[in-house]
Structure 1
Amino acid sequence: MSEVNYRFIDATKELVAFCDQAKTAGWLALDTEFVRERTFYAQLGLLQLAVADDIVLVDPLAGFELEPFWQLLADENVTKVLHSGGEDLELLHQCAQRMPQNVFDSQIAASVLGYGDSLGYAAMVQQFCDVELDKSQSRTDWLARPLSDDQRYYAAADVFYLARIYPRLLTELQQADKLALVADECALQIVKRTRQLNPDLAWREIGNAWQTSPQQRAVLQALAAWRLNTARRKDKPVGFIVKDATLIEIARKEAQSMAQLAAIDSMHPQAVRRWGDEIIAAVKTGLACPEENIPAEMPRLDFVDGYKGMFKKAKALIQKKAEELQVPASLIGSRKQINEVFHWLWFCNDALKQQLNPPDLLVGWRGELLKSELEALLLPRP
């Protein structure tokens, strides 16, 4: 393993100097360490930055002004290189109140170039640098201070190798004429990570929601909206408020009293005491929902007539386009992304489409590639 040299920044003056260095270089490698086990919002514990061989660790808990770095994130003239940076983008958006611009995700780049689907950072370093990374600190508490030498070294390595791999990926993408494709995909990730889930649509994220009746679906919608709003307000994971399976059980039984809530096996007595009144209010809201406002059905597609055959045809179309583009089919469309198109075209009315974001396969570079052919293939519904 290469010797990873790094320095620690805990003062604004040093941070300003590093940001100026990044502006001159035109790019920097970036990673974050955070903790999210017991909170709704991730808590930033460390920033790792690199410009070429200059590796710095920035302590966001040291109490100094980070505004120079937040401004750098929004600078479109500086490329921010991350690996599988979705959660990092969300966290940085939350902390900086602005979304990083001009992002280059090395996982996306590696996939486009055929190095593997959803390639993890350690696997990428092994493949490109023939180095096996130490993963012993991956579950550490990044909010605890002081950070140990092992923690610091682990964190520094995350950008040390990224800064070495980026120029190679960039060159290969330019040679393959695929840099624009990666740029489009990274820009799409920025847009997606900026979105906030509408509480009225939170029920659609619950796995077995398709098993509910229309009236139960209205109750589940009210319950899921209450839970998401509560989780955000209390800064607790949604599962810490009430778990998915319990929420569905409450909706099915249309529980309207403390006794009915307490009779649900998966409902913890403490949750009944703490949230009972609010849960009952949400149930009553759902029961009072006018028929015309009951949320549209979101069925399990495996049980829908004609779906399996049409899915195979859609998948074959994506495979054909992937071969033409010389990229992995999984980059263009996963099973989940294909299913989003089925739900959109077969089960979403115009009013619901106004609330939802269009499926990935119908917008952006994927839409240019697939939209007209997918719509011709899937409409009208068989």
Structure 2
Amino acid sequence: MNEIQFVDSVAELQDLCQKMQQEPWLAIDTEFLREKTYYPKFCLLQVATLEWVACVDPIALEGELEELFAIINDPAIIKVLHSCRQDVEIFYQLSGKLPAPVYDTQLVAPLLGFQENTGYAMLVSGFLNINLSKIHTRTDWSQRPLSPEQLKYAADDVIYLAKIYQMMQEKLQALGREDWLKEDFEQLMNEDLYDIPPENAWLKIRGKNKLTGKQLAIVQVLAEWREQLAKKDNRPKNWVLRDELILDMAKLQPLNLKALSDIRGMNDGFVRRYGKQVCELIDNARGLPGLKLKNKANNKKKPGQEAVLDILTGVVRLRADENSLNPVILATRKDLEKLLLDEQQSSLLHGWRFSMVGQELQQLLQGALSVSVDKKNLRVQ
């Protein structure tokens, strides 16, 4: 591996882009900050192949990244990332496009014996027997200049990623699993994952499942207002208004500044600045139809369904053993409950899990298949 190239001029970026354009795949990572902003602040791009590695300074090159994003969004080049959602969000935010096709090593890991949601450090240790340093985990990547140690720390994320990608591909091909994740990777290119409409922001608030339909309508209105304000001011939404206060406001429904101020934890500055507007929003929301949460009334198992789950679990174990996988990677008990109670929410009806066992389980539940047992085997007929 050559030395790390630090790119902070237009001429250097043009040279790098020419080199990137020739590659069939690129290992990519980003460093960003979002503690004080709604949108992530793009601070560093790391890119590597097996032959070279570079770190691009998007702060120094602000307004000059169009050619770089054209390559990142090039459908002829595979972008290899680990746990790619936040990186893709940055690319989508800045370029307006999704960088298809992507290859997410975190999704691949379970097919090769790792646990679900395996961290990058665990992959590096498992594949390369290298323990990554954590010394710069809390680095402020917006500060300049970056030290040689910081650049090495950042570059390691793609240097090892490139090597792991090659090893993963070889193992998947040996197992005949190289196409199993095609649908999973394609699902990562769904714009809805990265551009949630403000009117749907309430769905991400935890604790709402204990509220009534009328209270949920208030949560929806307040969460939408908060999302729009946070975007406009580029502030973290919890800096505008915390989730727990939205839930308390939905329960207590204050209609004047005094009642709003009396809510525990309510900031006086927030009341002065937004209190009147928020009370009007709550008052208007009180007249809206109540909302319903998906599955709220359909999340209790009926007598006998535990036995059905046991049978489904047996089929999962059978297929996992046939494919040398941990059954928990293929489907947990909770995954099977979702399939039983509400198919639309089940991950077993998508991607490689559907091919391996999901379709079969679905047909069992529909009565199109049956299970027979003898002293040695479980059979699906």
Normalised by the length of structure 1, the TM-score is 0.84
The correspondence of residues 248-287 of structure 1 with structure 2, limited to 5 A, is: 248-287=247-286
Structure 1 stretch displaced more, 155-164 or 201-210: 201-210
Query: 2 CA distance for matches of 1:311 and 1:229?
Result: 43
Cα distance, 1:318–1:246 mapped onto 2, change above 3 Å: farther
Q: Which residue is 1:152 aligned to? A: 151
Query: 2 CA distance for matches of 1:300 and 1:32?
Result: 38
1:187-208 CA distance string (max 9 Å, x none): 2222267442233332222221
Cα distance, 1:61–1:206 mapped onto 2, change above 3 Å: same
1:6 and 1:57 in contact (8 A); partners too? yes
Q: Which residue is 1:76 aligned to? A: 75
Query: 1 CA distance for matches of 2:201 and 2:68?
Result: 33
Please state if 1:370 is matched with 2:358.
yes
Please state if 1:220 is matched with 2:219.
yes
Q: Which residue is 1:56 aligned to? A: 54
1:231-259 CA distance string (max 9 Å, x none): 22222222112111111110111111111
2:6 and 2:56 in contact (8 A); partners too? yes
RMSD: 3.0
User: What is the letter of the counterpart of residue 267 of structure 1?
Assistant: M
Normalised by the length of structure 2, the TM-score is 0.84
User: What is the letter of the counterpart of residue 296 of structure 1?
Assistant: K
Q: Which residue is 1:295 aligned to? A: 291
1:337 and 1:361 in contact (8 A); partners too? yes
Q: Which residue is 2:27 aligned to? A: 29
Q: Which residue is 1:354 aligned to? A: none
1:222 and 1:285 in contact (8 A); partners too? no
Q: Which residue is 1:40 aligned to? A: 38
Query: 2 CA distance for matches of 1:321 and 1:196?
Result: 37
1:345-381 CA distance string (max 9 Å, x none): 6xxxxxxxxxxx96544445545552674487499xx
SS state at 2:47 partner: strand
Query: 1 CA distance for matches of 2:286 and 2:13?
Result: 55
Percent of aligned positions with the same letter in both sequences? 29
Q: Which residue is 1:352 aligned to? A: none
User: What is the letter of the counterpart of residue 306 of structure 1?
Assistant: K
Q: Which residue is 1:109 aligned to? A: 108
Cα distance, 1:104–1:299 mapped onto 2, change above 3 Å: closer
User: What is the letter of the counterpart of residue 292 of structure 2?
Assistant: A
Query: 1 CA distance for matches of 2:226 and 2:269?
Result: 16
Between Structure 1 and Structure 2, which shows a larger proportion of helix residues? 1
Cα distance, 1:85–1:335 mapped onto 2, change above 3 Å: farther
Structure 1 stretch displaced more, 145-154 or 41-50: 145-154
SS state at 2:117 partner: coil
User: What is the letter of the counterpart of residue 358 of structure 2?
Assistant: L
User: What is the letter of the counterpart of residue 225 of structure 2?
Assistant: W
2:17 and 2:71 in contact (8 A); partners too? yes
1:39-62 CA distance string (max 9 Å, x none): 111110000011223110100011
Cα distance, 1:110–1:365 mapped onto 2, change above 3 Å: closer
Query: 1 CA distance for matches of 2:172 and 2:326?
Result: 15
Unaligned runs of 5+ in 1: 346-356
The correspondence of residues 333-344 of structure 1 with structure 2, limited to 5 A, is: 333=331, 344=342
Query: 1 CA distance for matches of 2:341 and 2:36?
Result: 33
Greater Rg over alpha carbons, structure: 2
Query: 1 CA distance for matches of 2:313 and 2:259?
Result: 46
Q: Which residue is 2:372 aligned to? A: none
The alignment covers a number of residue pairs equal to 363
Cα distance, 1:16–1:329 mapped onto 2, change above 3 Å: farther
1:21 and 1:51 in contact (8 A); partners too? no
Unaligned runs of 5+ in 2: 368-381
**Aligned-pair CA distance for 1:19:** 2.9
SS state at 1:30 partner: strand
Q: Which residue is 1:183 aligned to? A: 182
**Aligned-pair CA distance for 1:21:** 2.5
1:213-246 CA distance string (max 9 Å, x none): 2221211221122122222222222211211111
